[in-house]
Copies of this chain bind each other. A is one copy, B any other.
Amino acid sequence: MYQIKSRIWIEGDKGVFLGEGRIKILKAIELEGSLSKAAKSLGMSYKKAWNLVDSINKNASIPVVITNTGGSGGGGTKITEYGLKMISAFENINKNCWDFLDQQLKELQL
């Protein structure tokens, strides 16, 4: 009858590091191999996608994405090993949080 929902995100010194939207674009990049294709596949403007990735880079202590501009095929963007770890870590925490909140709500019997 009542449902509890949540959004979580991780901040660094210079703003948001990871959140649901950033995870989404990272996964699309992993799939597509380029930021522009990833944005297109999500129906998102390139600018918005770039801003998300930019904020990730600004706050990451270890590189999450490697961008290559120029070259054959124009370049591209890859997710690092560390980035892949961060994605699964975030999704894991997020799921745990949902479970935790459902449990909390159930205990209350509103």
Complex interface residues of chain A between 51 and 110 (CB less than 8 A to chain B): 61, 86, 89, 93, 96-97, 100-101, 104-105, 108, 110
Residue from the list B1, B4, B11 in contact with A5, Cβ < 8 A: B11
Q: Is A46 on the interface with B (CB-CB < 8 A)?
A: no
- Closest Cβ–Cβ distance, residue A49 to chain B (whole Å): 22
Q: How many copies does the complex hold?
A: 2
Q: Is the interface of A mostly helix, strand, loop or mixed?
A: mixed
A6 nearest CB neighbor, chain B only: B8
Once the chains bind, are B110 and A89 in contact (CB under 8 Å)?
yes
B-binding residues in A (CB < 8 A): 1-13, 17, 61, 86, 89, 93, 96-97, 100-101, 104-105, 108, 110
